[in-house]
Structure 1
Amino acid sequence: MNRYVQNRLRISLSLPIIYFCVMTTALAAEPEPKLSAPQDITFTARCDQSQQRYILMLPEMLNAQQSHSVLIALHGHGSDRWQFVKEQRGECKAARDFAAKHQLLYVSPDYRARTSWMGPQAEADLVQIIDDLKKQYQIKQVYLCGGSMGGSSSLTFAALHPELIDGVAAMNPTANHLEYDKFQPAIQASFGGTKQDIPEEYKKRSAEYWPEKFTMPVSISVGGQDQLVPPDSARRLAQILKQLNRPVLLIDRPRQGHSTSYEDSYSVLEFMREKSVQQKQP
Structure 2
Amino acid sequence: MKRAALWTAIACLGVAGYAARAQELRQGEVRAYLSAIDGSRQAYGVYFPRANPPGDRGYPLVMHAHGYGWWVGADFSEWQRQWADDHGWVLVNVNGRGPNFYDGIGEDDVLRVLEDVAKVVAVDRSRVYMTGGSMGGTGAYRVGVRRPDIFPGVAPVDGWTDFREFHWHWYARKDMPDAIEEFRRPLLEAASPLYTAGTARWGDVTLIVDGRDDIVLPEQGIRLDEALNSARDREQEAYRHELVYHVDRGHGAGYDLPRIYERFLSISSPKRPPSVTVEATLLRYGKVHWAAIDRFDLQGAVGRLDAHVAESAVHAFAHNVTAFTLTLPDTSLASLPEVQVLVDGALCHAGPPTEVSLELREGPAGAAWQVVRGEAPPLRKRRGLEGPIGEAFLAPFVVAWGTVGSAASVRQGQVEAEDFAAEWNAFNVHYEAVRAVPEDKLSPDDHRTRNLILFGTLDSSAVLRRIAAACELPVRVLDDGVLVRDPANGDRLYRGAKYGAYWVYPNPLSGFRTLVVGCRGRFAVKPDGSLRRGLGYDLERLQWAWGDYVVFNTDLDDLPYVENVNNKPPVITYEAAYFVEAGFHDQDWQPERAVELNRVRARRPEGSRLIRIETLEVAPATSERPAGVEA
TM-score relative to the length of structure 2: 0.34
- Distance apart, 1:250 and its partner CA: 0.9
Task: Give the corresponding residue for 2:225.
Answer: 238
Amino acid of the residue matched to residue 231 of structure 1?
P
1:42 aligns with 2:27: no
The DSSP-based 3-state class of the residue aligned with 2:198 is helix
Amino acid of the residue matched to residue 201 of structure 1?
L
Which of 33, 43, 53 is the aligned partner of 1:53?
A: 43
- Superimposed CA distance per residue, residues 140-163 of structure 1 (whole angstroms, 9 cap, x where no aligned partner): 121111111001111112233222
The DSSP-based 3-state class of the residue aligned with 2:165 is coil
Task: Give the corresponding residue for 1:189.
Answer: none
The DSSP-based 3-state class of the residue aligned with 2:117 is helix
1:94 and 1:252 map into 2 onto residues whose CA distance is: 25
2:271 and 2:82 map into 1 onto residues whose CA distance is: 23
Which of 263, 272, 275 is the aligned partner of 1:271?
A: 263
93-102 or 140-149, larger mean C-alpha shift:
93-102
Question: Percent identity of the aligned residues?
Answer: 22
Which of 103, 124, 129 is the aligned partner of 1:143?
A: 129
Number of residue pairs matched? 231
Distance 1:128 1:65, change over 3 A: same
The DSSP-based 3-state class of the residue aligned with 2:88 is coil
Task: Give the corresponding residue for 1:219.
Answer: 206
**Does structure 1 conserve the Cα–Cα contact (< 8 Å) formed by 2:49 and 2:81?**
no
Task: Give the corresponding residue for 1:255.
Answer: 248
- Superimposed CA distance per residue, residues 217-236 of structure 1 (whole angstroms, 9 cap, x where no aligned partner): 11011111100111102111
Amino acid of the residue matched to residue 221 of structure 1?
I
**Does structure 2 conserve the Cα–Cα contact (< 8 Å) formed by 1:219 and 1:272?**
no
The DSSP-based 3-state class of the residue aligned with 1:56 is strand
The DSSP-based 3-state class of the residue aligned with 1:249 is strand
1:126 and 1:278 map into 2 onto residues whose CA distance is: 19
The DSSP-based 3-state class of the residue aligned with 2:62 is strand
- Distance apart, 1:124 and its partner CA: 1.3
1:143 and 1:155 map into 2 onto residues whose CA distance is: 11
Task: Give the corresponding residue for 1:200.
Answer: 186
The DSSP-based 3-state class of the residue aligned with 2:156 is strand
Which of 172, 191, 212 is the aligned partner of 2:158?
A: 172
Amino acid of the residue matched to residue 255 of structure 1?
D
Distance 1:241 1:174, change over 3 A: same
- Superimposed CA distance per residue, residues 155-175 of structure 1 (whole angstroms, 9 cap, x where no aligned partner): 112233222112101111111
Which structure's residues are more often strand, by fraction? 2
**Does structure 2 conserve the Cα–Cα contact (< 8 Å) formed by 1:71 and 1:143?**
yes
**Does structure 2 conserve the Cα–Cα contact (< 8 Å) formed by 1:44 and 1:50?**
yes
Task: Give the corresponding residue for 1:81.
Answer: 72
Distance 1:64 1:182, change over 3 A: same
TM-score relative to the length of structure 1: 0.71
The DSSP-based 3-state class of the residue aligned with 1:244 is helix
Distance 1:212 1:281, change over 3 A: closer
Task: Give the corresponding residue for 1:19.
Answer: none
- Distance apart, 1:100 and its partner CA: 4.6
The DSSP-based 3-state class of the residue aligned with 1:240 is helix
The DSSP-based 3-state class of the residue aligned with 1:163 is coil
Q: Structure 2, unaligned stretches of length 5 or more?
A: 1-24, 173-179, 233-238, 274-631
1:107 aligns with 2:92: yes
- Superimposed CA distance per residue, residues 211-265 of structure 1 (whole angstroms, 9 cap, x where no aligned partner): 1111211101111110011110211111221232221111101111002346x44
Amino acid of the residue matched to residue 103 of structure 2?
G
Which structure's residues are more often helix, by fraction? 1
Task: Give the corresponding residue for 2:63.
Answer: 72
Larger Rg: 2
Amino acid of the residue matched to residue 177 of structure 1?
F
- Distance apart, 1:204 and its partner CA: 1.3
